[in-house]
Structure 1
Amino acid sequence: MNKLPTMMNAMTAYFSAAMIQSATLCAKRLISSLPDPHHISRNKILLAYGGGKDSSYMVAWVRYIQGLLWLEKGATFQLRICTNRHAGMNDQVMANIARVYRALAIEGDDTVECLVIDGLLIRPFQRHLPFPATVRQQNRTDVLMNGHRFRADARSTFCNACNLSMVNAFGLAAYYDGGVDVIITGDSPQEQTAYLAWARHLARLFAAPQVAKDQGFSGFLQTLDGVSERYFSHIYGEGDVTPAHRITWQLPRDPLFFNIYQDTAYEAGAHWALLSDFMGFQFDELMFSFSESDCGNPTLMAHLRGLRAETLLQRSYDEGVSEYARFALGLMRQKDFPPSLIAAMTARYQDTAAIARQRQHAEQFAQDAFGLTTGQLICMIYSPFTAGGNQLEHYLQQQHIPLSASAIRALLRDDAASDPLLCRELETLSGLTLPQLRQCWRSPAVNTLLEPRSPDPLSRILRYDPHKAVIPVRHGTLQDSISEVISGR
């Protein structure tokens, strides 16, 4: 801990008197909340760290509290920081995390444990830790299978599987090496209530067993394990749910929750100097994209909207991207993003030249992160193999694909059928294997909230997602304006 006093002095220069007082009170509250307040060092605290601006500030805040206790009492709690990675996070996220850890004097401090979770793999943090090819492939398949079921709806395509993976990362981190005593959260009480309501709502949708409310965090995880199992059974088929799609819930001990929401503000503008000057946080052009999290997927969400307008709706790519930008910038304003960040995102999509640059970035990112071609994204937009191929002829005709619809139908509806050449052509077009194409064929397309209510739980997830809106769009083929659902982050 010999670097800690120097780090604390340097960090204090970025804190106002009110922030220091708030941190001091937070430290006292935390001690009284610990399972063993008389032996602080026996308590292990878990903090999730996504690598974005808000979570970087949260790491700094908790580290400052840890330092306050050590300077005052000569002892402090054990801190476990975990980062759940997925294919949508590029190397710059790891670079930011490394800079934050270095600024906070974490390296070599035996009271801090920094972990990286890649799927089911847990390893100590390293700046250049390779991302497993198996996890990238799983993320790619999740995007494709969700995208074909949800007709490339942005949130459903990229976020449904990712959100459940994030929950599992919490379970894995709380289970690892004997477990933890406390989980620190920065969510508001309203957000925590919404999470619990979300879990119970999903459990009802998927007829998952609900655990008694007094079962704590383990019970919450167990409920969502049932949800995850049933959700992915709908996506991949009964019996094809992998361990990576389950949620760890049998913990060594049930951790308590400690909320620091009341102690500090999270708006990036309120602590910009601490983020950029002290911790060296840098906003990457791809990873900063409309969202609180450092993730390139919102760039692909905008790209999909542009491709959808250009192909399915026979309009222009720019029109579709501009629709998404207006929607996503509205979300940023609702979430009180600093005006400078909103201005940066506005400039990124401000005109035809800017949109063209973003299109190039998105195409390259789709290939680098998920191994997806533009043609495979367009195929996902049409979802031509879902629901018995009810969009198949439209897709083949509009995209000028010289394949026989009747031959495709014969191959996909009959599990015993075989046509190796056609299989290869369909896999090149879609990115999906023959078994995955047949699963799509057997599965209904997901209805949107504009269509008649459906008992299908996947449709009801989309209906109740808060990050969406209904907007009027111009349909080039119909030469008319229609209403559509737009979602994203």
Structure 2
Amino acid sequence: MSAIHEQAMNYVYQQVLQRLQGYFSRAERTALQLLIQRLIVAAGGIEQIGDYKVLVAHGGGKGSSYALAFLRAAQLTIAGRAPRSFQLRVATLRHTGMTQAALDSIHRGYSALFFHDDPRVELLMVENQEVLPFNHLRPASTAGQDIGRRNMLMVGHMSSGDIRASLCNDGYLSLGDFYRRITAWDAGVHALVSSDSPRKQNQYLAWLVRTTRAAGMKGHAGRPLALNALFTRMDDCSADYYRDVYGEHYATQDASTHKEVHRHLAYIGVADLLRAAEQDPTALLNDFMGYKQDEFAFQFSNPDYANPLLMAHMHGLQAEVLLGLDYQQGVTGFIEQAIGFMRRKQIPDLLIAQAGTRDGRMLAATYAREFFGLEESQLVCLLFSPFIQQGQRLEAFLRRCHPGMLVALPELHKALEGKSSAELIQHWVVDTSGLPLALLQHLYRTHVAANAACINSEEPTTGPHGVPGR
């Protein structure tokens, strides 16, 4: 970079800083100075700050977007006071179900903060266990979508159609691999910065403990003493969990050779600073960063409502096929529980009101088809979970959803037992479930549904420093 170009870019960065500060209240400016002090202390002094690299996990949500704006302001403020500023790695977990709207919102924020041409900033995404440069226009990985769909279906069937487990477990279980991979990649980072509150962190860790115990895993007693150990535990828990779900069909997707961290990772929490700022960040996020709430975004911050509109749809289907109610009653029951959360997330009232209608059902079905590759009939099959425990609910499933197939019930049992059966029957059961025959036969042999626990936001617990967030 030539001296003239560097001077021009520094001018641009100072303009960005001035614009950011224009949105900050007095309390936010105070919080910014406290954040700068934390970063300098963590780095070992202002002389070391230029070699210090911090990581922020950014899923496009309001909390991590707000934290990102603060970190950028801190980075540019330090750059105006010292010869060098800290380096910033921003990483996004591109999970199954992440929409183009979410990626576009992230990209607009990066552009507003002038991240793209700044050598002090790395913009990365992890998709299907691969670290990639962030590109909001990159097509979703077909292999990643296939794995996500299969995991969702298997967890759903093994948990007897538990809606929360079906929709949230795979997302949470992928976090261990994500953090191990992104903290180790290309010489790693020195610290993780998180805007998650201790309560949110503890909820995740409580769920991790319950899931570990439910799967009969050993060797995870006590708290991890370091972030490195915590991320390894999370990753190991995921592997053990899916080994329990898939049995002999479990296949390790990736070795951990690219996930080993060779330095102690520091943790820098900023939730208290952002909370002390006591400022509504709406103007900063919407007007400056181009933030837009994605109605179908995965809510890492609240697993009870991991994907409220899709969850409402599945509750409607559950009411229709399992409870003898109509679709709208199931949706309304869920919406009444989730309405406070949905309003806090600024999901439009029109979409909320539409959820139980024909148009709302079509919208949710389209989302499930586009991002999970699942038809409504396959979601219904998941909710019924007719194959586990030697097809205990298979006859009831056929009688309720596919009465024309009742005559083929003996042949279906043969196919699921692995005996010789008509090819047409095999194709039908694969198409209806969305799972290959070998996995359906595995489900058939499963006598007790797996405890696919999901996070209970009300359960108190204790835990170490933080993990996931949006």
Alignment equivalent of 1:373, drawn from 372, 375, 391:
375
Paired position in structure 2 for 1:62:
71
- Contact map agreement 1:31 1:40 (CA 8 A) in 2: yes
**Cα shift at 1:252:** 2.5
Q: CA deviation at 1:208?
A: 3.1
Q: Distance in 2 between matches of 1:351 and 1:86?
A: 26
Shift of 1:226: 2.9
Structure with greater proportional helix content: 2
| Distance in 1 between residues matched to 2:21 and 2:136, nearest whole Å | 26
Q: Secondary structure at the match of 2:357?
A: helix
Using the size of structure 2 for normalisation, the TM-score is: 0.87
- Sort the Cα spacing of 1:246 and 1:331 in 2 relative to 1 into closer, same or farther, 3 A: farther
For residue 428 of structure 1, the aligned residue among 427, 431, 437 is: 431
Change (3 A) 1:170 1:288: closer
- Paired residues of 2:176 and 2:232 also in contact (CA < 8 A): no
Taking only aligned residues, the RMSD between alpha carbons, in angstroms, comes to: 2.8
- Match of residue 358 from structure 1: 360
> For 1:39-438, what aligned pairs fall within 5 Å after superposition?
39-205=48-214, 206-210=216-220, 213=223, 215-238=225-248, 240-243=250-253, 250-265=260-275, 270-287=280-297, 297-331=307-341, 337=344, 341=346, 344-345=348-349, 347-350=350-353, 355-403=357-405, 404-414=408-418, 416-438=419-441
**Is the contact between residue 203 and residue 457 of structure 2 (CA under 8 Å) also seen in structure 1?**
no
Aligned residues: 446
Q: Sort the Cα spacing of 1:18 and 1:297 in 2 relative to 1 into closer, same or farther, 3 A.
A: closer
| 1:441 matched residue in structure 2 | 444
**Other structure's SS at 2:414 match:** helix
Q: Is the CA contact 1:53–1:292 (under 8 Å) kept in the aligned structure 2? A: no
Contact 1:80 1:115 in 2 (8 A): yes
| Matched residue SS, 1:432 | coil
Give how far 1:57 is off.
1.2
Equivalent-residue separation in structure 1 for 2:299 and 2:156 (angstroms): 20
C-alpha distance 418-405 of structure 1, shift in aligned 2 (>3 A): closer
Shift in Å, 1:225: 2.9
Cα distance between partner residues in 2 of 1:408 and 1:245: 38
For the residues of structure 2 that align with 1:316 and 1:234, how far apart are their CA atoms?
Answer: 35
Which 10-residue stretch deviates more, 63-72 or 224-233? 224-233
Gaps of 5+ in 1: 447-455, 469-489
Residues 272/266 of structure 1: CA separation in 2 closer, same or farther (3 Å cut): farther
Cα distance, 1:287 vs structure 2: 3.6
Match for residue 26 of structure 2? 17
Give SS of 2:388's match: coil
Partners of 1:45 and 1:236 lie apart in 2 by 36
Are the equivalent residues in 1 in contact too, given 2:96–2:371 (CA < 8 A)? yes
Structure 1 residue 349: Cα displacement: 3.1
CA deviations over 1:131-185 (Å, ceiling 9, x no partner): 1100011111111111112233221001111101122111110010111110001
Q: Deviations over 1:393-446 (max 9, x none)?
A: 0011111342322111122123x5343221111111111110110111122453
Tell me how far 1:201 sits from its aligned partner.
Answer: 4.3
Q: Which runs of 5+ in 2 are unaligned?
A: 1-8, 460-470
Q: CA deviation at 1:81?
A: 0.3
- Offset from partner CA, 1:198-253 (integer Å, 9 cap, x none): 44444444323227746411211222233222211221114514326989753122
Structure 1 residues 296, 187: CA separation in 2 closer, same or farther (over 3 Å shift)?
closer
Tell me how far apart the structure 2 counterparts of residues 237 and 418 of structure 1 sit (CA, whole Å): 24
Matched, 1:465 2:456: yes
Cα–Cα, structure 1 residues 185 and 6, in superposed 2: closer, same or farther, change >3 Å?
A: same
Structure 1 CA distance for aligned equivalents of residues 234 and 299 of structure 2? 28
C-alpha contact 1:36 1:42 (8 A) present in aligned 2 = no
Q: Deviations over 1:10-41 (max 9, x none)?
A: 11111011111110121012210125653211
Find the residue that maps to 2:97 and give its secondary structure: coil
Answer yes or no: is the 8 Å Cα contact 2:128–2:144 preserved in 1: yes
TM-score of the pair, normalised by structure 1:
0.84
Change in 2 beyond 3 A, CA 1:310/1:154: same
Residue 388 of structure 1 aligns to a residue whose secondary structure is helix
> Counterpart amino acid of 2:141?
P
Structure 1 partner of 2:463: none
Q: Which amino acid aligns with 1:366?
A: A
Whether 2:15 is the aligned partner of 1:6: answer yes
CA-CA distance at 1:375 after TM superposition: 0.9
Q: In structure 2, give the amino acid aligned to 1:359.
A: R
Distance 1:368 1:192 in 2: 31
The 8 Å contact of residues 79 and 112 in structure 1, kept in 2 or not, is answered as: yes
Change (3 A) 1:177 1:235: same
Q: Structure 1 398/244 Cα, relative in aligned 2: closer, same or farther at 3 Å? A: farther
Q: CA deviation at 1:116?
A: 0.8
Question: 1:368–1:332: structure 2 CA closer, same or farther, 3 Å change rule?
Answer: closer
CA distance in 1, matches of 2:181, 2:79: 28
